Chain A
Amino acid sequence: MKTKLAGLFAVAAALAVAGCHSNTVNSVENAQKSGQRTMLADQRVITDTQLARSVSVFGVSTAMTPGGVLKVQVELANRTKSLVRFAYRFEWFDANGMQVDNVMSATVVPDQIEGGEGKFISAVAPNSASKDFRLKLLKVDN
């Protein structure tokens, strides 16, 4: 009887371990980069420390598109070992600091990041008058 119970516990434990295994990402890239990113000094407001850990901002860079509008690229990294779902939104501001309100700033984009993964999210300004931006990262229930 004891042997049977022990066997059952072992199977249950094995299943539990298998169910909780982490899914992380390994990656490789060229060490000598040809492209040079224009990194920005950023200003952060963190109200959700758990989200800030799982969807951590590593850097912000900008470039001008051929159409003459600002493009922003943000590098994110998941410092946990499991997949995290999140959503983000870019807000845009003109030279007077007034918000440029249109479909592109109303877009809340759902996204996900694997454990240990680094990824980029980017956005293009709604017009050439948009000079500044703000990225909002939102928690989504997994």
Chain B
Amino acid sequence: MKRIILLPLVAVGVAFASGCGTNAHYVETGGRESVVSTGQINSQDFIQAAGDATAKLLASGVLDKVKSPPAVLAMSRIVNNTSSQIQIDLLTKKIRVALLESGKAVTTTTFGLDGVAEDPLAKNIQQQQQFQDGQTSTRLPDFTLSGKIIQNFVKAGSTSQSTYSFQLSLTDAKTGLAVWEGEKEITKQGTRPAVGF
């Protein structure tokens, strides 16, 4: 008799436990079903920061002030001052793609920080071409993009809060003056990571 009662209970328990889990499925990148965690920068944060920076940069009109558009942009250093290891390209690539698609700016891949080209092969071909043509001048970048990502972490009881500040500066390469600066702050609060905004 006891077995007869126990078996359905076990079956219900198993069914309940399996129903509580979530099977792996695709979600929209950066969509409202994304996992949100306070201790690290999530993909939707990079998307939001990049989108905000690009929008403000395009709206400023600073890229339209170059003599021969589109403006040439070189990527400078973006410092990570957070507690996590960050792939900075998750931020910069989105900005580069959006600027290229806007038609307002192109990014050089043969002119890099400390003389290191992002695309060494392209740099070699460029140098070879210049040697063959006898030309010595290439178009230098009009602007450089630099920045910093800062994390401010606070805790009250079991609730933790992180504010990530994405700071970007666009510097006129000729004058060395920052002609545009943008900052986007994203604050997240909670006791544990969660699914959804």
**A interface list, Cβ under 8 A from B:** 65-69, 71, 85, 87, 102-104, 106-110, 123-128, 138, 140-141
Contacts and interface: CB of A to CB of B under 8 A. Distances in A.
22 contacts: A65-B59, A65-B60, A65-B61, A66-B64, A67-B58, A67-B63, A67-B64, A102-B98, A103-B51, A103-B95, A103-B98, A104-B54, A106-B29, A106-B47, A107-B48, A107-B50, A107-B51, A108-B32, A109-B48, A109-B51, A127-B101, A128-B102
A127 B102 contact: yes
Contacts of B196: 140-141
A110 B52 CA distance: 13
B146 interface: no
Range class of the B interface residue count: 20 to 34
B101 A102 contact: yes
B103 interface: yes
Interface string B12-42: 0000000000000000111110000000000
B60 to A, nearest CB: 7
A99 to B, nearest CB: 13
Interface of B: 28-32, 44, 47-48, 50-52, 54-56, 58-64, 94-95, 97-98, 101-104, 196-197
Given A103-B51, A108-B44, A71 B197 contact: no
Contact of A140 (B44, B48, B197): B197
B32 A140 contact: yes
A62 to B, nearest CB: 13
